Amino acid sequence: MAEGTGTEGTGAEGTGAEGTGNTVVSVNRVINAPASALFAVVADATRHPEIDGSGQLVKAKDGAPHQLTMGSTFGMSMKMGLPYSMSNTVVEFEQDRRIAWRTVQAGPLGRFLGGRVWRYEFEPVDGGTKVTETWDISRDKQAFLLKHGKIGQSTAAAMSKTLDRLTEITES
């Protein structure tokens, strides 16, 4: 299995994390599984806590779809110290190739908090599928805060753990 961590915000490839001022962080890995199997896990909102490498996803809210499609909405119970909820809308969708959702704080605070996009891309390659996970805060309402400090590095580390979990689930 080949592994890489890229920093799309800088156009760099290789190991590393986002630098100050960047708004996009990506990690990727070749997983020995077909794109359709990998996509099926990621496109099932109820499985997101199972693959989450950050430890913040608690569970999908009741009614979360098992198969996301363009425009699908789903809620997620979260915990980072204190519990909170996020509301997500699928904004990009190409079966077995790409899926992305925009996430905002659930409820009235969503007008002021959130807007980041989580994206997964699946590219068939020798040895399996190259999976790229991207955290894009370029249109997030808190981008001015999130793009500074070590948030990009910790996000990249959590995304790498997510890809570890996706590998374990689909290669076993």
pTM here? 0.85
Answer yes or no: is 2 within a domain. no
CATH (domain of 125): 3.30.530.20
- Please give the tally of structural domains in the chain: 1
Question: pLDDT by residue for the chain (172 residues), tens digit each?
Answer: 334 444 333 333 333 333 335 789 999 999 999 999 999 999 999 999 999 999 999 999 988 889 999 999 999 999 999 999 999 999 999 999 999 999 987 877 777 778 899 999 999 999 999 999 999 988 887 776 777 768 888 999 999 999 999 999 998 6
Answer yes or no: is 146 within a domain. yes
For 96, the domain range is: 27-171
Question: Residue 68 in contact with residue 90, Cβ under 8 Å?
Answer: yes
Answer yes or no: is 152 within a domain. yes
Answer yes or no: is 21 within a domain. no
Decide: residue 32, CB within 10 A, 0-12 exposed, 13-18 middle, 19+ buried.
exposed
Answer yes or no: is 93 within a domain. yes
Answer yes or no: is 1 within a domain. no
Answer yes or no: is 151 within a domain. yes
Q: Please state, in angstroms and rounded to a whole number, the distance separating the CA atoms of residues 54 and 47.
A: 14
